């Protein structure tokens, strides 16, 4: 399956809609199918959460002096 091929994604969307109809799931559309297939939705949400947490962590360290501040770069392994 090529995630960038519109024909492939339309087929996946059609199958997802069939399954949604079978089990009474609402809201399945092409945009949602693209987001789930390409992991767009989880990636954006989790990346924003990690960046926000790092910013808050650094702000707390600056305001309270409770730890060394990042002075070059940060690496996240998770």
pLDDT at position 1 is: 85
Q: Is 17 buried (19+), middle (13-18) or exposed (0-12) by CB count in 10 A?
A: middle
Distance of CA 51 to the CA centre of its chain: 13
Percentage of the chain exceeding pLDDT 70 = 97
Q: Do 52 and 70 belong to one domain?
A: yes
The DSSP code for 20 is H
State yes or no: pLDDT of 31 exceeds 80: yes
**Into how many domains does the chain fold?**
2
Helix, strand or coil for residue 77? Answer: coil
Q: Do 32 and 45 belong to one domain?
A: no
Task: Flag whether the pTM goes above 0.85.
Answer: no
pLDDT at position 36 is: 87
Show the tokens assigned to 8.
């492939």
Q: Do 73 and 47 belong to one domain?
A: yes
Q: Do 49 and 78 belong to one domain?
A: yes
Q: Do 32 and 58 belong to one domain?
A: no
Domain residues for 26? 1-38
């Amino acid at each position: 399956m090529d995630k960038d091929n519109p024909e492939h994604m339309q087929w996946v969307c059609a199958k997802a809609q069939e399954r949604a109809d079978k089990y009474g799931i609402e809201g399945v559309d092409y945009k949602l199918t693209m987001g789930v297939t390409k992991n767009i939705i989880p990636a954006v949400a989790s990346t924003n959460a990690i960046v926000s947490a790092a910013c808050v962590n650094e702000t707390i360290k600056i305001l309270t002096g409770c730890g060394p501040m990042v002075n070059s770069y940060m690496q996240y392994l998770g």
